Amino acid sequence: MSRPAETLDLTGVPCPANAARALLVIEGLPAGAFLRISLDDGEPIQNVPPALEEQGHVVVDKVRIGTGWQVLVKKGEEA
Amino acid sequence: MEIYLDNAATTQPATAVLLAMSECSRRCYGNPASWHRLGVEAAKVVERSRQTLAEALGAEPDEIVFTSGGTESNNLAVKGTAWAAGRRGKHIVISAVEHPSVTAAALSLEKLGVRVSLVGVDSEGLVDPAAVARVLTSATILVSVMHANHEIGALEPVQEIGRLCRGRGILFHCDACQSFTKEPLDVAKVPVDLLSVNAHKLHGPKGIGALYVRKGTALAPLFDGGGQEGGRRSDTLNTPAIAGFAAAIEAVDLRAASVMRRLRDRLWDSLRRAVPGIRLNGPRKARLCNNLNVMLPETESKPLLRKLSAAGIYASAGAACSSAKPEPSPVLLAIGLSPQETVRSLRLSLSRWTTQAQVDAAARAIVRLAGGS
Instruction: Determine the average pLDDT of the residues in B104-116.
Output: 96
Chain A touched by B35 (CB under 8 Å): yes
The pLDDT value recorded for residue B85 is: 93
Is B177 a catalytic site residue? Answer: no
Q: Which of B34, B37, B44 to mutate to test the interface with A (most CBs of A within 10 A)?
A: B44
The pLDDT value recorded for residue B326 is: 65
Chain B touched by A51 (CB under 8 Å): yes
Task: Give the residue from B286, B277, B275 showing the smallest Cα distance to B369.
Answer: B275
Q: What are phi and psi of B152, to 5 degrees?
A: -115, 0
> Which residues on A lie below 8 Å from B47 (Cβ)?
17, 20-21, 24
> Which residues on A lie below 8 Å from B31 (Cβ)?
none
Average pLDDT of chain A?
92
CATH fit for domain A6-74, picks 3.40.50.1000, 3.40.50.720, 3.30.110.40, 1.10.4080.10: 3.30.110.40
> Which residues on B lie below 8 Å from A55 (Cβ)?
37, 40
> Which residues on A lie below 8 Å from B35 (Cβ)?
15-16, 19, 47, 51
Q: Does position B322 have pLDDT exceeding 60, yes or no?
A: no
Query: What band does B80 get if pLDDT is binned at 50, 70 and 90?
Result: very high
Average pLDDT of chain B?
95
Asked whether the beta carbons of residue A14 and residue B230 sit closer than 8 angstroms, the reply is yes
Task: Give the residue from B188, B225, B194, B185 showing the smallest Cα distance to B92.
Answer: B194
Q: How far apart are CA B371 and CA B219, in angstroms?
A: 52
Interstrand relation of B194-198 and B171-175 (parallel, antiparallel or unpaired): parallel
Q: Does position A1 have pLDDT exceeding 70, yes or no?
A: no
The structural domains of chain B, with segments of one domain joined by +, span 3-11+254-369, 15-250
How near does any CA of chain A get to the CA of B13, in Å?
A: 27
Asked whether the beta carbons of residue A54 and residue B37 sit closer than 8 angstroms, the reply is yes
User: Closest to A23 (Cβ–Cβ): which among B34, B44, B62?
Assistant: B44
Query: What band does B373 get if pLDDT is binned at 50, 70 and 90?
Result: low
Q: Does position B183 have pLDDT exceeding 90, yes or no?
A: yes
Residue type present at position B300: E
Asked whether the beta carbons of residue B47 and residue A20 sit closer than 8 angstroms, the reply is yes
pLDDT in tens, B279-297: 999 999 999 999 999 999 9
pLDDT in tens, B191-217: 999 999 999 999 999 999 999 999 999
Q: Which of A9, A21, A45 to mutate to test the interface with B (most CBs of B within 10 A)?
A: A21
Q: Does position B271 have pLDDT exceeding 80, yes or no?
A: yes
**Predicted structure pTM score:** 0.94
User: Closest to A17 (Cβ–Cβ): which among B34, B37, B47?
Assistant: B47
Architecture category of domain B3-11+254-369 in CATH = Alpha-Beta Complex (3.90)
Chain A touched by B46 (CB under 8 Å): yes
The structural domains of chain A, with segments of one domain joined by +, span 6-74
The pLDDT value recorded for residue B87 is: 75
Chain B touched by A17 (CB under 8 Å): yes
Q: Does position B324 have pLDDT exceeding 70, yes or no?
A: no
Query: What band does B50 get if pLDDT is binned at 50, 70 and 90?
Result: very high
Q: Does position B135 have pLDDT exceeding 60, yes or no?
A: yes
The pLDDT value recorded for residue B1 is: 79
How near does any CA of chain A get to the CA of B40, in Å?
A: 6
Interstrand relation of A68-74 and A58-65 (parallel, antiparallel or unpaired): antiparallel
Percent of chain B at pLDDT above 90?
93
pLDDT in tens, B214-244: 999 999 999 999 999 999 999 999 999 999 9
Query: What band does B371 get if pLDDT is binned at 50, 70 and 90?
Result: confident
Q: Are B110 and B92 in contact (CB under 8 A)?
A: no
Nearest C-alpha in B relative to A10: B62
Instruction: Write the CATH number of the domain with boundaries B15-250.
Output: 3.40.640.10
Instruction: Determine the average pLDDT of the residues in B107-120.
Output: 96
Query: What band does A79 get if pLDDT is binned at 50, 70 and 90?
Result: low
Interstrand relation of A6-9 and A34-40 (parallel, antiparallel or unpaired): parallel
The pLDDT value recorded for residue B323 is: 54
Q: How far apart are CA B339 and CA B330, in angstroms?
A: 10
Q: Does position A38 have pLDDT exceeding 70, yes or no?
A: yes
Q: Does position B320 have pLDDT exceeding 90, yes or no?
A: no
Q: How far apart are CA B323 and CA B285, in angstroms?
A: 27
Q: How many CB pairs under 8 A join A and B?
A: 39
The pLDDT value recorded for residue A4 is: 52
Q: How far apart are CA B44 and CA B150, in angstroms?
A: 33
The pLDDT value recorded for residue B270 is: 98
Query: What band does B189 get if pLDDT is binned at 50, 70 and 90?
Result: very high
Predicted complex ipTM: 0.86
CA B196 to chain CA centroid, Å, is 8
Query: What band does B26 get if pLDDT is binned at 50, 70 and 90?
Result: very high
> Which residues on A lie below 8 Å from B55 (Cβ)?
none
The pLDDT value recorded for residue A3 is: 58
Q: What are phi and psi of B179, to 5 degrees?
A: -95, -15
